[in-house]
Amino acid sequence: MFSNAAQYALRAVAHLGVGDHDGFVPVRVVAKELEIPPTFLAKVLKQLVDTGFLLAFRGPTGGVKLARPTQEITVRQIVEAVDGPELFTECILGLPGCGDRAPCPMHDGWSVVRTQLAAEFDRQTIETISESCRNGSLRLTP
């Protein structure tokens, strides 16, 4: 559905939202706890710092932390920060100009699913994901 980078970003942000950590959390700690390659995770989290979802601090006590309350960050915002808005705006077959005037064979069905997906990703916040993890009903690790 979306890239590994977006999946890792969602998992990392939800993990930070669980609140088991005080202050800045080293990227290597997040990577280890989520079983994500640390170098790749660092690149992904840099995108979230650049887009204002995370704060970063360098040095021995450095790391990352959420820049906003978890209820103010939606799943869609994280996906778009990493992958861009194309999942919610583009043709599923990648055809330029696909739309009601010049649809692809999957346009009618995909436009409905795309709209539903965008609505669900707008509804789901990092708080809702983190809360489920805090309650022990869902997991973030493989």
Neighbouring residues of 40: CB distance < 8 A, sequence distance ≥ 6: 4, 5, 8
Domains of the chain in start order, with CATH, are: 4-134 (1.10.10.10)
What is the structure's pLDDT at 23? Answer: 84
From residue 22, how far is each of 62, 69, 96, 113 by CA, in Å? 12, 14, 47, 39
For the segment 32-86, what is each residue's pLDDT rounded down to a tens digit?
Answer: 999 999 999 999 999 999 999 999 998 877 899 999 999 999 999 999 999 999 9
pLDDT value for 107: 94
Task: Copy the structure tokens of residue 120.
Answer: 């669900």
Residue 1 has pLDDT above 70, yes or no: no
Cα–Cα dist 61/123, whole Å? 34
